[in-house]
A and B are shown apart, each in its own frame.
Chain A
Amino acid sequence: MKNPTTKLSMLLAAALLALPVAARGEENGQFIPVLSYRTGPFAPNGIPWANGIVDYFELINQRDGGINGVKIIYEECETGYATDRGVECYERLKNKGPTGAAFVNPLSTGITFALTEKAPVDKIPLITAGFGRSESKDGSVFTWNFPLIGTYWTAADVAVQYIAKEFGGPDKLKGRKIVLLYHDSPFGKEPIPVLEALAKKYDFQLTLIPVANPGVEQKSQWLQIRQLRPDYVVMWGWGVMNPTAIQEAANVNFPREKMLGFWFAGAEPDVVPAGAQAVGYKALMLQHGAGRARVHDDLDKYVYGKGFGKSNHTDSSGVLFNRGMVGAMLGVEGIRTAMAKFGNKPLTGEQVRWGIEHLALDENRLKELGFEGMISPIKISCSDHEGSHTSRIQQWDGKQWKVISDWYTADETMLAPMLKDAAGRYAKEKGITPRDCSKES
């Protein structure tokens, strides 16, 4: 080693090799991957959603020192809403931390479909709060999927219940025209079977009108709607499709009061770009809406007050931010439930799955958590991975979302057999023997 350059480069190489090892260290905690999309066509919706998730994890760490003292370690991975990138993120993060990923919240229907095949092999539960595949509510077949607090089928049923009430009862639906304007992807097609069944039951005319991804071209669809003169337009959109639809509705003079968005078409990025044209537009709520609850005060104090906040302060009570927080909270409470059985230490995905399946949050517990009024009580069991089947309607008044209805509960007598059928078909296709839920403790 006479040559100084050789010496220097060797030193540098050694330092580079040592650096990550030294910096990483052995961190003990519960690892939770965060699959988010802050870039790409759906970024305006993805950013507040992701902020809500990471801010809630940060709150748990800052306020409580973790879940029962076990710190949450989280890492974000950018999917750009693309399925293949999402799968890559999942593969990269699934084994991180001392016990691997506690659960995965894919934030995308496409990624959910892909991960549904992988989760049972890796033994990692999937939390898809408010999205994902509706039949995965049947926990006897979809052991690892948890479409908590609301599936698309629940939403479709509640939407029709609300429209029926507007007209003065289900019997008044006969002969009415309802249009489903949907994003042309599995996400948008999910409610179709339920709406078709309801159309048959109540004898209304259902017209399905697809909009191609990402949804900025809707001229011909709205021309068709103008010709059809429907009594209601139910809209199943996401991202840029929603404000575009509202503007197009204004262009053809379709009353915004007769447009009912689904809960992914009912956030601030959907109505704010449409400006005054969006006044009167209605949307379903994934239980929670915009606005502050007691948890937001803690957020101000422990996260934003200490400068850990991801969002800017005024945005941290919007619909999508709150959705992120609710999803994160359900996961954290699932882990807490599992800790009651397995002890206060980092848990494996399999243990967390047990915890989520036994998750029960009543009014008191929600109040303790500071989520009072944001979601209704939830109880998960082997046969019901959704937990609560309620939704409300909100309306945009130009400045903010106003809740304009009571809680509606989805009609289980109609949905349950359809669900059993769809889940059974999946089980047969995949050769899964459904668990016997009566034997599960």
Chain B
Amino acid sequence: MFYREAGHFHDKYRDEMAIFQIREDRIGIRLLLIAAFVAVPLLHAAGVPPFAGDYLFSAVLTPLLILATAAIGLNLLVGYCGQISLGAGAFMGVGAYAAYNVSVHLPGLPLLATFLLAGAASAVVGLVFGIPSLRIKGLYLAVATLAAQFFLDWAFLRVGWITNYSASGSVTAPPLVIAGWHVDSPVERYLLVLAVAAIVALGAANLVRGNLGRQWMAIRDMDIAAEIIGIRPMQSKLTAFAISSFILGLAGALWAFVNLRAWEPYAFSIDRSFQLLFIVIIGGLGSIIGCFLGAAFIWLLPLAVEGIPRWLSIPIAADAAANLTLGVFGALILITLIFEPHGLARIWAIMKHKLRRWPFPY
């Protein structure tokens, strides 16, 4: 319907191995990126309704993109390597507090370096908590990562130097300055987060197609078979933990510095871990685009359930809307998982597939 594959013949391995093998896909993704990076800020500047105020940027797009970035991190571990983790929120917290500490103790350091160090700190912590994965798997591993969550929650609250001895345990982020650019307005914050999300998504997409990603998937599908064909489980499991935690830490630093700006340990509680796991499962295990779809589902649905009656001027009490949100949310999760256990990414793929074969679907 939109476009057909007919006439696309790859005569180079390079072409066949590209992330987007079809030219129209490549054009599409470029258009999407141009729209996100250029058109959206321009629409904001021109004052076109949904883009006019700050709301869309600071309350919808920025948190959504950060959650999607974090979900990519978790998906590498859970979706690609098959190591279930319930500690994603805590690893985000490590990133946030590491970035805070770096900015307090090394104030002259460029912000991007701060973020990378935060990711690195989170990677190290993730590596340590990944060690049990060498001996245990499945539900047992989930419980071990749950322990990581509880331990880190405890540490954020109790260990004084993590919060720079703040009396209340709540800390505030420094101003965001990147090479003289003050990232102040909601649109600028959105652009910063969008850039990070795009780089992480691209990097992750490439990673999972390469040697490392194939090792992870082999471990996920059958670890003994993988070992027999020469994959070292220790190396691949630990790299999965480290890289996943790195991205989670980066996302945590963004969540703290760009989205909340002042936060308490509760911002990275187990609720956050569950939220990320839901995003990954609903979006689709082992899919990068699924992370974005899942994050959009989780973040936009409550806003829509509250917003649509208000938009139609149907009076609805705030608490009734909140309860309605929970109900609709639960029902939709069930429906999604019953009819498409592989998540939104799979629905998206089927849709594309059907459209490409149209009018002769099979």
Contact = CB atoms under 8 A, between A and B. Distances in A.
B318 A114 contact: no
Interface in A392-438: 422, 426, 429-431
Q: Which secondary structure characterizes the binding site on chain A?
A: helix
A110 interface: yes
Interface stretch (A188-196, A250-258, A300-308, A368-376): A188-196
Interface in B299-338: 303, 306, 311-313, 317-319, 321-323, 326
B312 A114 contact: no
Contacts of A88: 59, 63, 303
Contact of B264 (A16, A87, A95, A113): A113
A190 B55 contact: no
Interface string B65-97: 000000000000000000000000000000000
Contacts of A426: 172
A91 B157 contact: no
A76 to B, nearest CB: 4
Given A20-B313, A133-B168, A92 B59 contact: yes
A19 B167 CA distance: 51
Nearest to A196: B167
Which of B157, B174, B175 neighbours the largest number of chain A CB atoms within 10 Å of its CB?
A: B157
Interface string A322-338: 00000000000000000
Contacts of A23: 313
A128 to B, nearest CB: 14
B341 interface: no
Nearest to A47: B319
Interface string A39-67: 10000000100000000000000000000
B164 to A, nearest CB: 9
A206 to B, nearest CB: 14
Contacts of B266: 83, 110, 185, 213
A113 B313 CA distance: 33
A166 interface: no
A315 interface: no
- Size category, A interface: 35 or more
A19 B308 CA distance: 12
A95 B47 CA distance: 14
B259 A110 contact: no
Contacts of B101: none
A30 B314 CA distance: 22
B169 interface: yes
A16 B168 contact: no
Nearest to A115: B262
B54 A113 contact: no
B169 A78 contact: no
Contacts of B271: 82
A210 B157 contact: yes
Interface string A105-149: 000011001101110010000000000010000000000000000
Nearest to A184: B157
Contacts of A84: 63, 259-260, 267
Interface in A168-225: 184-187, 189-190, 192-193, 210, 213
Interface string A1-28: 0000000000000001001100110000
Nearest to A121: B184
A360 B106 CA distance: 45
B319 A78 contact: yes
B196 to A, nearest CB: 18
Contacts of B53: 95
A377 interface: no
B244 interface: no
Contacts of B321: 78
A436 B55 CA distance: 34
Interface string B40-53: 00000000000001
Contacts of B303: 88
A76 B316 CA distance: 10
A109 B263 CA distance: 10
Nearest to A116: B262
Interface of A: 16, 19-20, 23-24, 36, 38-39, 47, 76-78, 80, 82-84, 87-88, 91-92, 94-95, 109-110, 113-114, 116-118, 121, 133, 184-187, 189-190, 192-193, 210, 213, 422, 426, 429-431
11 contacts: A20-B312, A77-B318, A91-B55, A91-B58, A113-B262, A114-B262, A186-B168, A186-B169, A189-B168, A190-B168, A431-B175
Given A83-B263, A91-B55, A95-B53, 12 more contacts: A20-B312, A39-B322, A80-B322, A83-B266, A84-B259, A84-B267, A95-B54, A110-B264, A113-B170, A114-B262, A118-B261, A192-B167
Top 8 closest A-B pairs, CB basis? A38-B319, A91-B59, A23-B313, A186-B168, A76-B318, A186-B170, A117-B261, A78-B322
